[in-house]
Structure 1
Amino acid sequence: MRSLIVLVLLLAIAYAQSPTIEDKIKGLNDLTARSAVVKFNIDKWKTYVRSQPRNYSMIVMFTALSPNVNCPICRPAYEEFMIVANSHRYTSSADDKRKVFFGIVDYEDAPQIFQQMNLNTAPILFHFGQKLGPKKKPEQMDFQRQGFDADAIGRFVADQTEVHIRVIRPPNYTAPVVIILLVGLIVGLFYMKRNSLDFLFNRTTWGLFCLAITFTFMSGQMWNHIRGPPFMITNPQTKEAQFVHQSTQFQLISETYIVAFFYALVTIGFICINEAGDMTVSDKKNKKNSILSLLQVSPTTLAFIGLALIVVFFSALLSIFRSKYRGYPYSFLFQ
């Protein structure tokens, strides 16, 4: 009987010492007063994430930001996560701010938490719901399918918590500076060539300029300027370099270069077929500066070269589209 009384007293003392919901809310508000996210150590983790009672949700990113860790995707994913957290801090209502908090677990600062969660890869984004117990598995965002840009993270938060965050990106002054420099370069070129502007009436020059603009926009370069994705990423399962992102919601800089290069080769293929079809035997003798004269190939050979370029690299483009969206219905040589 005496041991039972002692046990009850110990449980009562432990319960009295455990923080209440209001204590946790106040503590989280203090931690997020200067930063939009809570940087967790093991004590904060146990108090605010893995213990009950809790009437709020935690959106926690597990990452490895140390330069000693080979994680090229961690920094851009962290920056997108911070955009969402700051947007929530400055645009959400007071009630929504009490419902959702954002946190970061860096491997260098808290490896014990990674071990507790049985994690050996990063970055990973989890939603710890209000009723989630210490032994339950939280909801994980699928970066491979959904991407990790701020808008995708915002949609994940809305789906999990019903708190809709208006994502506001910080201003990017890179594009205006580049445009000003480009305009200055063009004006300087016109000034230096003010006595000879024949190049403005050169069809080849304008054709190449239009093709360059077309390849730039078709490859998704403008999306890169807006979203700022990484050049490439490392697959967390295979540890191999990945140059094409396996999601329709995200892309990599290397991916746009590959797509633009393939489009350019397909275009060259059509040009070769067009030149081969237009060229006759008499044209070959008269037009010394034609593409056939420069390459020293017959019209038939040039036509086959063009056809091969179109078939191979258009098939490669379709293969890239299928790798990003498994439901894409078209393919040719490659799956």
Structure 2
Amino acid sequence: MRYILICKLKTKKNRGEHKAIGRRRGSHCRPVGKMSWRLSLGCKQTKMSPSEILLLSFGVLALLSLAECKKELTLSERVQQLSDAALKKPVLRFNGDKFKQYVKGTPRNYSMIVMFTALAPSRQCGICRHAHDEFQLVANSWRYSQGYSNKLYFSLVDFDEGPDVFQQLRLNSAPVFMHFPPKGKPKKVDTLDIQRVGFAAENIARWVAERTDIQIRVFRPPNYSGLLALVVLLALVVGLLYLRKNNLDFLYNKTTWALGALAFTFAMTSGQMWNHIRGPPFLQKTQSGNIAYIHGSSQGQFIVETYIVALLNAAVALGMILMVEAANKRDDVRKRRIYAIIGLGLYAFCFSLLLSIFRSKAHGYPYSFLLK
């Protein structure tokens, strides 16, 4: 059997009776016999039945539950806090607790686009900074658009601020863009495939529209670097023509025009225009921590990959030119033979590398040469 002590404590200021439930540490109650207690200030024993103990336990649990519920924000409070914060900063920074409260908390009537990244200099993630700039551009465009509402928010979780979130979602690379819908859990299509489409602001906005039916028109700030480069180039050309106004034979040089045409061809066939339109990353780290220079899909590419392909195309062209020159020249036979061997080796090796790269991107391509 259990007892509750109802102790009558007297004070100098107030001689009223104060009730204290449970055994109070520091009082002068001490056990006497087996099931009785005595208080030097005066104690009264009260016997409780098992049903009363059970009711009291349920009451305490109910009070604790109510206290915990009061700590949780209601939906309207969460939306109000998100709206107020988004007006100041379109991209909200969350740690583990805020992510759990605003992104995973239920119920929700809004979509959340979250960027998981690692912006600390010690992480040495250059791609993360570039992706953050594009993500910030989309968030700013949404914030200042005419259709802005509280149905969509943009947030960011840095690895150093919320490592528990990365562990919970099993993320081992960055950057990652995920959409958390108002109802249910994110699906596979709620993660942006940056290896296929890149992370340019326009591509992120298009993906957001596919997942939320909210159209975002991206407003890029004016970039005068291209115009400045064009003005400098025109100034150099005009200056060169002015200095060589008495001798313009170089304009009729076939070699100069041929080199210019080849450079333009190599740039276009390597995918430079695709890079300009899609804005892919320069390179990317794999899940094992290695650096990937070649994209593993035929639907995407890296910037450094276009440089590699352009150099290989140039090497193939150079090998072909050496073989042609070896056949047409009337020089020493030994020199012609060296040209032919170097040209043939350069052509065969670089063309084999090109086929190997194509096989790694177009899975199932059956042909190869020298290299697999």
TM-score w.r.t. the length of structure 2 is 0.74
| The one of 81, 92, 106 aligned to 1:27 | 81
Query: C-alpha offsets along residues 124-168 of structure 1, whole Å, 9 cap, x if unaligned?
Result: 2222222246xx888433333443333433343233323333334
Q: Offset at 1:176? A: 1.4
Inter-CA distance 37–248: structure 2 relative to 1 (3 Å threshold): farther
Cα contact 2:113–2:152 (8 A) shared by 1 = yes
Q: Offset at 1:264? A: 0.8
Cα contact 1:72–1:230 (8 A) shared by 2 = no
| The one of 165, 189, 192 aligned to 1:141 | 192
Structural mapping, 1:77-116, within 5 Å: 77-91=131-145, 93-94=147-148, 97-116=149-168
> Unaligned 5+ residue runs, structure 2?
1-54
Q: Which residue of 2 aligns with 1:193?
A: 244
For the residue of structure 2 that corresponds to 1:38, the secondary structure is: strand
Cα contact 1:145–1:246 (8 A) shared by 2 = no
1:297 aligns with 2:335: yes
RMSD (Å), alpha carbons? 2.9
Q: Offset at 1:45? A: 1.7
- Distance (whole Å) between structure 1 residues aligned to residue 259 and residue 80 of structure 2: 62
For the residue of structure 2 that corresponds to 1:166, the secondary structure is: coil
Q: Offset at 1:301? A: 4.9
1:275 aligns with 2:312: no
Q: Which residue of 2 aligns with 1:287?
A: none
Structural mapping, 1:79-228, within 5 Å: 79-91=133-145, 93-94=147-148, 97-132=149-184, 139-224=190-275
Cα contact 2:116–2:158 (8 A) shared by 1 = yes
| The one of 232, 238, 241 aligned to 2:291 | 241
Inter-CA distance 226–187: structure 2 relative to 1 (3 Å threshold): farther
- % identical equivalent positions: 48
Counterpart code for 2:261: C
- Distance (whole Å) between structure 2 residues aligned to residue 162 and residue 270 of structure 1: 53
Query: C-alpha offsets along residues 149-205 of structure 1, whole Å, 9 cap, x if unaligned?
Result: 334333432333233333343332222111111111111111111111111111111
1:39 aligns with 2:90: no
Q: Offset at 1:257? A: 1.7
> Unaligned 5+ residue runs, structure 1?
285-291
Most deviating of 177-186 and 210-219: 210-219
For the residue of structure 2 that corresponds to 1:297, the secondary structure is: helix
Counterpart code for 2:345: A
Counterpart code for 1:197: L
By percentage of residues, which structure has more helix? 1
- Distance (whole Å) between structure 1 residues aligned to residue 73 and residue 152 of structure 2: 18
- Distance (whole Å) between structure 1 residues aligned to residue 362 and residue 212 of structure 2: 27
Cα contact 1:77–1:148 (8 A) shared by 2 = yes
- Distance (whole Å) between structure 1 residues aligned to residue 271 and residue 195 of structure 2: 19
Q: Offset at 1:262? A: 0.9
Counterpart code for 2:161: D
Q: Offset at 1:92? A: 6.3
- Distance (whole Å) between structure 2 residues aligned to residue 322 and residue 99 of structure 1: 44
Counterpart code for 1:104: L
Q: Which residue of 2 aligns with 1:326?
A: 363
Q: Offset at 1:76? A: 1.6
Inter-CA distance 58–217: structure 2 relative to 1 (3 Å threshold): same
Cα contact 2:118–2:175 (8 A) shared by 1 = yes
- Distance (whole Å) between structure 1 residues aligned to residue 79 and residue 158 of structure 2: 22
| The one of 339, 342, 345 aligned to 1:308 | 345
Count the aligned residue pairs: 317
For the residue of structure 1 that corresponds to 2:156, the secondary structure is: strand
Q: Offset at 1:50? A: 1.7
- Distance (whole Å) between structure 1 residues aligned to residue 269 and residue 222 of structure 2: 25
- Distance (whole Å) between structure 2 residues aligned to residue 150 and residue 322 of structure 1: 30
Inter-CA distance 115–184: structure 2 relative to 1 (3 Å threshold): same
- Distance (whole Å) between structure 1 residues aligned to residue 257 and residue 175 of structure 2: 45
Counterpart code for 1:189: L
- Distance (whole Å) between structure 1 residues aligned to residue 299 and residue 222 of structure 2: 22
- Distance (whole Å) between structure 1 residues aligned to residue 88 and residue 365 of structure 2: 46
